[in-house]
């Protein structure tokens, strides 16, 4: 597993949502400055892997979002990620994701597995990317995530809400072509200078690594558009 810093310097994906509230007072800024000098933020150390992809909500598949992940690889089988609606300084924290290996997934009780989405579709479609790092490093990273699973909760849908309201929503993954709302992927690619189609083509040699995964068919037929299979993405 890649352990070095992988945060890239790709183009900024700026959030358009500013939470309501008064401008910071001078006293607040002074307290923040003091905290920065005197307090530790050690739990944040290690969140060095930056990924950007997409999440549909499992119970509401047409409710979809671009998801910016900042991840800490705790060991070879477990990573934890903070999710944001952008990658600029003013991005809003809107969820969390835990990523586990195929080995750890196999150890879960049957009822628990329904909360974990498969990752092969995100990788082999080219939609999940690690912007700003060399393509060879990105591909090596994606190879380590083949056959893995994620458990993702989103607390705030900033495209719809000024504040995080209501219950958290369990997110899922795209496992077939055309499940994404038209324009969602293209908009991300344009603003960040990415190319999903080219990335997908470059990952064809990962196909032999793909094993059938649980959850691939969980959203099958739940989108109001015709969808097609992604080669290598199969239901377990």
Return the ∠ at Cα 136 (arms to 200 and 127), rounded to 5°.
Answer: 30
Residue range 161-204, pLDDT digits in tens:
999 999 999 999 999 999 999 999 999 999 999 999 999 999 99
Could you read off the pLDDT of 52-78 as tens digits, one per residue?
999 999 999 999 999 999 999 999 999
Tokens standing for residue 146: 């083949």
Q: Which of 5-19, 148-162, 204-218 has the lowest mean pLDDT?
A: 5-19
pLDDT in tens, 81-114: 999 999 999 999 999 999 999 999 999 999 999 9
Can you give the residue ranges of every domain in the chain? Answer: 42-229
Tell me the CA distances in angstroms from 155 to 20, 145, 191, 196, 212, one per residue in order. Answer: 17, 25, 25, 27, 30
pLDDT of residue 87: 95
CA angle in degrees (0–180, nearest 5) for 80-83-88: 130
Whether residue 232 is predicted with pLDDT greater than 50 in this model: the reply is yes
Flag whether pLDDT at 1 surpasses 60: no
pLDDT digits 0-9 by tens, 19-44: 778 787 787 666 667 666 667 678 88
Q: Of 2, 6, 10, whose CA–CA distance to 49 is shortest?
A: 6
């Amino acid at each position: 597993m890649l352990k070095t810093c992988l945060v890239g310097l790709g183009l900024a994906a700026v959030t358009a949502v500013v939470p309501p509230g008064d401008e910071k007072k001078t006293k607040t800024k002074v307290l923040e400055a003091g905290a920065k000098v005197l307090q530790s933020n050690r739990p944040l150390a290690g969140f060095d892997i930056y990924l950007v992809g997409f999440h549909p909500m499992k119970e509401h598949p047409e409710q979809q979002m671009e998801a910016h992940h900042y991840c800490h690889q705790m060991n070879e089988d477990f990573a934890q990620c903070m999710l944001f609606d952008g990658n600029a300084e003013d991005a809003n924290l809107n969820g969390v994701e835990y990523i586990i290996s195929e080995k750890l997934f196999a150890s879960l009780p049957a009822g628990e597995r329904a909360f974990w989405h498969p990752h092969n579709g995100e990788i082999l479609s080219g939609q999940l990317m690690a912007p700003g790092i060399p393509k060879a490093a990105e591909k090596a990273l994606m190879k380590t995530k083949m056959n893995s699973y994620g458990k993702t909760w989103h607390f705030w849908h900033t495209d719809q809400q000024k504040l995080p309201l209501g219950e958290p929503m369990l997110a899922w993954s795209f496992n077939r072509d055309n499940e994404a709302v038209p324009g969602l992927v293209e908009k991300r690619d344009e603003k960040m200078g990415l190319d999903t189609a080219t990335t997908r083509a470059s990952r064809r040699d990962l196909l032999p690594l793909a094993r059938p995964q649980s959850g691939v068919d969980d959203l099958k037929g739940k989108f109001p558009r015709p969808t097609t299979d992604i080669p290598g993405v199969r239901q377990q």
